[in-house]
Amino acid sequence: MDLELKNKIALVTGGSRGIGAAISLGLGAQGAHVALTCGKRVDAANAVAEKIRGMGARAMVIQANAADFDKTEEVVGAVVEELGGLDILVCNAGVTWDGVVWKMSEKQWDTVINTNLKGYFTYNRACARVFKDQKHGKIVNLSSINGLRGKFAQSNYSASKGGIIAMSKALAKELGKFNVNVNVVAPGMVMTEMAGNIPPEFLNIAINETVLGRVADPEDVANVVAFLCSGLARHVTGEVIKVDGGQYI
């Protein structure tokens, strides 16, 4: 299906691996030009960008800390200048640092909240200014089913992902009159490099929680994100779409 994304310009945070890489490649395959940010994995991000260029679209890589407020404005400005505009923001960059609450340090809390929640705020804020002025735009924020249900030893992560959902609903109300859609995709367990390091017994718990008997591939999430970035979803905003194989239910 043609999602009519050809020549749209997208910014994907945390686009060097896993879900972010799949999203970047999925948008590129639909003809969108993609800017992707990364932390330390510049080589991996450049490899994703090369694949996008091989599809006939333009791509750029920007190394940036998602929690750096001032850098965010620079990133968005650089995308607009180099690629000629901005139509889509997908916020995906995130971290985990698990621990039960009675053992969790202030640094554990602040690191996860600053990256996962403040980092999303900074990019949503900067891109909202562009989208508001041009009277169009698509924002998709990646959350998690654990932002809806909570997760043992993840009070910081669950709080950050729940905050993303609440923030996105507020922004959908603020930006709707400017023809800007704001939605959330909440994956369950996804078979990424990070998931590959999970002990088999915990992975099996996640599989058993689903009704489909499997965990997602990154492309399963990327496909839903691409739809929400397209004109086919023009009347969808303020929604939280779970991509979890029924794990939440």
Task: Report the pLDDT averaged over residues 53-82.
Answer: 96
- The pair of structure tokens assigned to 166 is 């609440």
Q: 71: Cβ–Cβ under 8 A, 6 or more apart, which residues?
A: 64, 65
Domain ranges of the chain: 9-242
What pLDDT, on the 0 to 100 scale, is given for residue 197? Answer: 74
229 token code pair: 């970035």
- For residue 200, what pLDDT band results from cuts at 50, 70 and 90? confident
| 123 assigned to active site | no
pLDDT value for 1: 65
With a CB cutoff of 8 Å and minimum separation 6, the contacts of 128 are: 137, 139, 171, 174, 175, 180
State the CATH class of domain 9-242.
alpha beta
- What is the overall mean pLDDT for the chain? 96
Q: Which residues contact 165 (CB under 8 A, 6 or more apart)?
A: 143, 147, 148, 184, 186, 240
Give the pLDDT score at 125.
98
Is residue 84 scored above 70 in pLDDT? yes
pLDDT of the residue at 15 = 97
- DSSP code, position 216: B
Model confidence at 156: pLDDT above 90: yes
Residue range 163-197, pLDDT digits in tens: 999 999 999 999 999 999 999 999 999 998 777 77
Contact 127, 139 (CB under 8 A): yes
- pLDDT computed for residue 202 by the predictor: 85
Per-residue pLDDT at 40 exceeds 70: yes
Predicted local confidence at residue 104, as pLDDT: 98
Q: Is the pLDDT of residue 16 over 90?
A: yes
Strand partners, 59: 34
**pLDDT tens per residue, range 112-142:** 999 999 999 999 999 999 999 999 999 999 9
With pLDDT > 90 as the criterion, what percentage of the chain qualifies?
A: 92
> Strand ranges (DSSP E) for 88-209?
88-91, 137-142, 180-187
Task: State pLDDT tens for residues 22-36.
Answer: 999 999 999 999 999
Nearest CA to 109 out of 156, 161, 152 is that of 156
